[in-house]
Amino acid sequence: MSVTRTEVDVAIIGGGQAALAVAYFLRRTGRSFVIIDAEDAPGGAWRHGWNSLRLFSPSTWSSIAGWMMPPVTNGYPGRDDVLDYLRKYEQRYQFPTERPYWVNAVERRGNHLQVRAGDRTWQARAVVSATGTWRNPFLPHYPGSETFTGQQLHSAHYVEPAPFAGKKVLVVGAGNSGAQILAEVSTVADATWVTPQPPQFLADDVDGRVLFERATERWKAQLAGITIEQPVGGLGDIVMVPSVVEARERGVLHAVRPFLRFTETGVEWADGSQTPVDAVIWCTGFRPALAHLETLGVCTGEGRVAVDGTHSIEEPRLWLVGYGDWTGAASATLIGVTRTARSTVEEIEQFLKQH
């Protein structure tokens, strides 16, 4: 099998918002770079969001660097609005993009890193990993889950409520995805919301813009070495989007504590009672999708990479962007990734000048 090899200054692995934000700033340096995307088309993980997924920030607060997301006429942007924006953003700047290529490994080759995807390789002086988390959904283990005969589905693969009509459904998870999926599934099914602790609801007038401002204040305070007191409201707390408000009005927006184990046809609760269940929708989050970095030996037991900001501590030619607060405050959000993308490209430029 012949191998096609390309040499670039920087290889960006991933094609979603983090990759595009990094590409925007790299484009201004004049360095050669490539985006290597496993998807068939632009949009990254947004291509896999459920049909009714809606942002909880207005367009101006849901944009990446350089070009604002066009405003929508009906509420906040939905999944398709975000997809359209990211597709046009990629086209607008004519980023050099190769897809679909699933990166198998990143390997050291002299003073370069080699990115390998099947019969393609890219030799890069620096690599930015921006693969996000969608491809690594987290499923907690409950005793008996292997013998449970009902359906189990992670929110990563949830599309719409119709297949659950008339069924007994558990929605597990205390975050925004759990609340939004519970809200719409409960319109067609007998749905129970299961959360480890009581969910934290934000005031009705608090949206993603407010949360980002609070996250920014905390970040600035952290840089200054001070602690500030703020009202409840982290990026993981539940935003009262219209569907969740409607669920509250129907009286279904209440949660119970977790069951102990699965039975063959349902679950058993802490008091010993059992409930038949047709389906469980796991809204239990994700872990960083970093299998392609295992060949470098930089992944920790917690499934992360030790970083200083976004820069790998153990591999000086590697940066990670967009995986969560450990790679920059709010860096896994559309509005938040710009800051870390800019600082990452500044670091890469300094590195390339010196090496």
The residue that leads in pLDDT, 216 or 16, is: 16
Q: Say what percent of the chain tops pLDDT 70.
A: 91
Q: Span 11-35, mean pLDDT?
A: 97
The predicted-structure confidence for 146-199, as pLDDT tens digits, reads as follows 999 999 999 999 999 999 999 999 999 999 999 999 999 999 999 999 999 999
Rama region for 166: left / alpha / beta (φ>0; ψ in -120 to 50; rest): left
Q: What is the pLDDT of residues 263-320, one digit of tens each?
A: 999 999 999 999 999 999 999 999 999 999 999 999 998 889 999 999 999 999 999 9
| pLDDT of res. 295 | 95
> 297's torsion region: left (phi>0), alpha (psi -120 to 50) or beta?
left
CATH of domain 151-201+238-282: 3.50.50.60
* pTM for this model (two decimals): 0.88
In this prediction, residues 253-258 reach a mean pLDDT of 95
Instruction: Flag whether pLDDT at 2 surpasses 80.
Output: no
Cα gap 82→294, rounded to integer Å: 31
**b/e map of 294-320 (b: 16 or more CB within 10 Å)?**
eebebbeeeebbebeebbbeebebbbb
Token pair listed for 338: 């710009």
Dihedral, 259, 277, 142, 332 alpha carbons, nearest 10:
-90
**How many angstroms separate the CA atoms of 220 and 224, rounded?**
6
When pLDDT is cut at 50, 70 and 90, the band that residue 336 belongs to is confident
Q: What pLDDT was estimated at residue 277?
A: 98
Which tokens hold the place of 253?
């927006």
**Rama region for 132: left / alpha / beta (φ>0; ψ in -120 to 50; rest):** left
Q: Residue 73: exposed, middle, or buried by beta-carbon count in 10 A (0-12, 13-18, 19+)? A: exposed
pLDDT in the model for residue 234: 46
Residue partners of 257: CB distance under 8 A and separation at least 6: 194, 195, 196, 270
The mean per-residue pLDDT over the stretch 117-123 comes to: 94
Whether 212 shows a pLDDT value over 60: the answer reads no
Average pLDDT, the chain: 91
**Residue range 209-237: average pLDDT?**
57
Task: Note the pLDDT of residue 32.
Answer: 97
pLDDT confidence of residue 278: 98
**In the predicted model, what is the mean pLDDT of residues 103-116?**
96
Q: Can you tell me the mean pLDDT for 79-92?
A: 96
Confidence check: pLDDT of 42 > 80 = yes
CATH topology classification for 4-135+287-354: FAD/NAD(P)-binding domain (3.50.50)
The pLDDT confidence band at residue 233, using thresholds 50, 70 and 90, is: very low
* CATH topology agreement for domains 4-135+287-354 and 151-201+238-282: yes
Residue spans per domain, the chain: 4-135+287-354, 151-201+238-282
Res 86: pLDDT = 97
Using alpha carbons, select from 317, 320, 295, 297 the residue that is nearest to residue 307: 320
